[in-house]
Amino acid sequence: FPRFREGEFGGVFNLGPASNLPPVGSAPQANTKGKFWLVHLEEGVLALYVVCTHLGCLYRWQEAQNRFICPCHGSQFQKDGTYIQGPAPRSLDRFVVRMLDAAGNVLAET
C-alpha cells in the first residue's frame, strides 16, 4: 500500500528511538525528504508539513523571533504550528507521529 512506503514523501519516516530525537525545546529540524519540520516539545513530537497554508510557499524557522515566518506574504506561526498572524487561513498542517513502533522507534507518517 503506497501510503506506507518508507523513507519517501507519502510514506513513513523512522525517526529512530525517542532518545535520539533533538532535545525538547531545541530548534525545529528540517526533514527535506519527508517535507516536514520536526519539532520536539514538552507535549510531544510534531511533524509540520513544510508548505505554508496560505499559497504554498516554504516557510522558515526564525530562531531570533522563536517562530516560523513565511517569506512570501509574512504569515507567522508558533513553534507548534499555531497561527499567529498574516494572510494564512489556518495553522500549519501536521502529519501523524506515532511515538513508538514495536522496535521502540518514533515514526512520522507523511
Look at residues 37, 1, 6, 27 and name the one whose alpha carbon lies nearest to residue 107: 6
Q: What would the grid cell of residue 32 be? A: 527535506
Closest distance of CB 47 from ligand FES, Å: 19
88 binds ligand FES (CB under 6 A): yes
Part in contact with ligand FES (CB under 6 A); list of ranges 11-19, 20-28, 38-46, 70-78: 70-78
Question: Phi-psi region for residue 8, left (φ > 0), alpha (ψ -120 to 50) or beta?
Answer: beta
73 binds ligand FES (CB under 6 A): yes
Q: What would the grid cell of residue 21 be? A: 530525537
> Would you tell me which residues interact with ligand FES (CB under 6 A)?
52, 54-57, 70, 72-75, 86-88
